[in-house]
Amino acid sequence: MADTVQKRKDAPSPDRTPDHSGHGDTYARKRLRTEDTDTDLSGGDKTLEKHATFWYTDADTVIAVENVLYRLSSSRLKDQSEVFRGLLSDEIDATAYEQVTLSDVDGETCYCVQDLAAGDFDVLLSMDRRPTDFCLKVPSFQEVAAILRAASVLKMDGYRAFAISYLENWWPSELCRVSENPRPYAVETFLLGQQCHAPQLLKPVLYELIRDPRWQREPDDGQEPDEENELENAWVHVEPEERGLESLSREDERLVHRARELVLLAWFETTSCNPSRSCVRRASDSKEQCPSTPKKRSMWEAIVHMSGLFRKYLYDPIRGFDALIAVEWEDQWCQDCVEQMHALWTKKKEELWDQLDELLSVDRSKLDTVVEC
């Protein structure tokens, strides 16, 4: 077998998937031997190719990810990765072999990492090589997702925390930070939260999926929606690389539909009638007048329903409650009624946010058993 390999001319950049098509001379992939069985991961005549950038001749540890070979420093690997710390330390951790199998490449031990994409590993190594590049500019979603997947497989807690911090900033779980505008990559983030065991991402992303207009809507009153509403609900900005709703599993689809039913019910209950129908203050009061019940009903219908507010926030009641609070009710209602309504809507908003947690705890009861990435 040849002792050297011609490196590829172009080193992959962190924001694109590297080409591992096998240019130049290559190592022939050998059969991998575990304790009791021979495992051929080559898939036929596939070959292993040295990485153009991350094959350091002065390093001492050979790693195979998919069909790419890396030569890296064992001290750096042990420092960053719990998996390689268990493999390369004096006291070997048997659990590390759940992610890694061993092979022999030209007389050297090769650690073949399972369930890891070479492109993801490239992004993580690029960050490890030049961390300031990822601090001076905001990384793309694809870069952050790649780092999270790779760091979860290799149990690199520092890089995993880095990726999750960006995702938490993009998808905050605080009720007060629910975004006014739709955020891209909701489906991808929901899948990442499940696969990489980051449950704190699930609720804000679930709410984004709830209000995603790409879901097919059934008319509320049994009638066909008019053309204007059809156009309104058919439009959504989608990034070129963004995955569609069809990427969700049937279980996830059912979860989203149940969550949509939950927010619909909360919004219907809130907007069906004026919450301050009766008030001790009457129109005869000189300083703080409050309309009669029939007048309140008429004004409520005009402000909430005829204005389009009800329809606008049909699947976005969190922001709908904020819109109700922002209405200048003081122009017609007395101060006591306004304060009562504000307190009620704030409470309902908090209760709905908590109910999404409860819904996820039921549907994500098996989350703790999900194998990380």
On average, the pLDDT of the chain sits at 79
Q: How many domains does the chain have?
A: 3
Q: Is the pLDDT of residue 58 over 70?
A: yes
- Structural domain includes residue 41: yes
Q: 313: pLDDT confidence band, cut at 50, 70 and 90?
A: very high
Residue 82 belongs to what domain range? 27-125
CA–CA separation, 239 and 188 (whole Å): 12
- Structural domain includes residue 15: no
Q: Are residues 142 and 233 in the same domain?
A: yes
Sequence-distant (6+) residues with CB within 8 A of 34 are: 101, 102
CA-CA-CA-CA torsion for 188, 191, 192, 198, nearest 10 degrees? 130
Q: Is the pLDDT of residue 239 over 60?
A: no
Give the domain-ending residue among 77, 100, 125.
Answer: 125
Angle, in degrees to the nearest 10, between helices 141-154 and 118-129: 100
Amino acid identity at 137: K
If you average pLDDT over residues 329-353, what whole number do you get? Answer: 91
Q: Are residues 121 and 173 in the same domain?
A: no
Q: Are residues 279 and 190 in the same domain?
A: no
> pLDDT tens for residues 161-183?
999 999 999 999 999 999 888 88
CA–CA separation, 21 and 19 (whole Å): 6
CA–CA separation, 313 and 87 (whole Å): 54
Q: Are residues 114 and 171 in the same domain?
A: no
- Structural domain includes residue 313: yes
Q: 296: pLDDT confidence band, cut at 50, 70 and 90?
A: confident
Three-class secondary structure of residue 179 per DSSP? coil
Q: Are residues 202 and 274 in the same domain?
A: no
CA–CA separation, 224 and 217 (whole Å): 10
Number of H helices, E strands in the chain: 14, 8
Q: 56: pLDDT confidence band, cut at 50, 70 and 90?
A: very high
If you average pLDDT over residues 65-90, what whole number do you get? Answer: 94
Q: Are residues 221 and 139 in the same domain?
A: yes
For residue 5 the two structure tokens come to: 């390999």
Note the pLDDT of residue 46.
Answer: 60
For residue 221 the two structure tokens come to: 């009153």
- Structural domain includes residue 5: no
- Structural domain includes residue 252: no
- Structural domain includes residue 194: yes
Note the pLDDT of residue 3.
Answer: 38
